[in-house]
Structure 1
């Protein structure tokens, strides 16, 4: 039986998530994965707040980076971040449920460009993340 591109993307994401202790420890959930796309959600907890009682920017970056990782590794070509930037639009508060939606803008043989939009539970834009990926010349899944 032939595996479709989206089925392969889901296998890759499941493999990565099972080995991603940081993403798991932050309470992130993998909502959706397809080729070149991923949606990850996270609830803002008290231990994620900064001195202004808003979500620390590093936690927002990590959420976006996780969605980016699932999207850019979705073709079973192991990839890492080469460069990432984030623009913070509005604060996220305790108990907000954020969703990071990653999608491919361009994927070449070695490098890719991905964008991630982080929104809150009322679909207000919280941040925009751009990630450049670099494939590292190996398969992600050990058995593929």
Structure 2
């Protein structure tokens, strides 16, 4: 367990109104790695009564954000793609696991897999990050 990665995630989470509103919880943190979870609620359903893709994207994007900021250097997304493979249903517990594939001085690439409580893959997300300078914690 990397204490700095956890500290960076806690600092970000305190200001992450989106993650808090969606009920996203951080389960694991390490450098270049994050696991977050979210339960699909009725207000997250689309017109087909499945989890809205934007909600799934937000879960993946949150895992991505915490993983690419885990080293304490502030980073944002420069590009993201997602493939939806199966629907999320109300009551499903979705887990997004983000893993660094490459992290350079400025740019990084992260893969995120979203699974349900049955260990079935719901979506695959790839995020490209760009370090913007400064520290996640605000410290010099």
Whether 1:91 and 2:82 are equivalent positions in the alignment is no
Match of 1:121 among 117, 122, 125: 117
- The secondary structure found in structure 1 opposite 2:12 is helix
**What is the CA RMSD across the aligned residues, in angstroms?**
1.0
- Paired residues in the alignment total 140
Q: Runs ≥4 in structure 1, deviation > 2 angstroms?
A: none
> How many Å apart are 1:137 and its aligned residue?
1.5
- Report the counterpart of residue 132 of structure 1 in structure 2: 128
- Report the counterpart of residue 105 of structure 1 in structure 2: 101
Separation in 1, partners of 2:23, 2:136: 23
TM-score normalized by the length of structure 2? 0.98
- The secondary structure found in structure 1 opposite 2:2 is helix
Match of 2:44 among 32, 48, 55: 48
> How many Å apart are 1:7 and its aligned residue?
1.1
Cα deviation, 1:22-68, whole Å, max 9, x if unaligned, reads: 10000110101100000000000000000110000000000000000
- Report the counterpart of residue 81 of structure 1 in structure 2: 77
> How many Å apart are 1:143 and its aligned residue?
2.8
Gap runs ≥5 in structure 1: none
TM-score normalized by the length of structure 1? 0.95
Gap runs ≥5 in structure 2: none
